Amino acid sequence: MKQINLTYKDKTYTLEYTRGAVAQMERAGFIVSDIYDKPVTTIPALFAGAFISKQKWIKPDVVEEIYKNIKGKDTLIEKLVEMYQETALSLLNEPEEDNEGNAAWEPNW
């Protein structure tokens, strides 16, 4: 799982997306493809969502302050989108081993 270490005011935060964090974001209405059509709401939500798995306790105003004071926002947002998409697509990963414990399926039509 990819992570970004971010330091602000001598405090280090770990930004990452887990399936649980992505599910929480989606339940709250987050749609990553809206980043182009609704950047004013989507970009801050993407950034805030990266704090969910490791820093649930962080207050929204602190996240906003960090975002306001961070440099290289365009590259950061690109990396966050990449991390978000990889997490979402991990639902399609195949089992690591081919064994009797794997589920099997076949169409019935």
> Given this model, what pLDDT does residue 43 score?
96
With a cut of 80, say whether residue 32 has pLDDT above it.
Answer: yes
pLDDT at 97: 75
State pTM to two decimals: 0.87
For position 98, what pLDDT does the model report? 72
The pLDDT tens digits of the residues spanning 34-58 come to 999 999 999 999 999 999 999 989 9
CB within 8 Å of 53: residues ≥ 6 apart = 16, 17, 18, 20, 21
How many Å apart are CA 93 and CA 39, to the nearest integer?
30
Contact residues for 64 (Cβ-Cβ < 8 A; gap 6+): 44
- pLDDT over threshold 80, residue 100: no
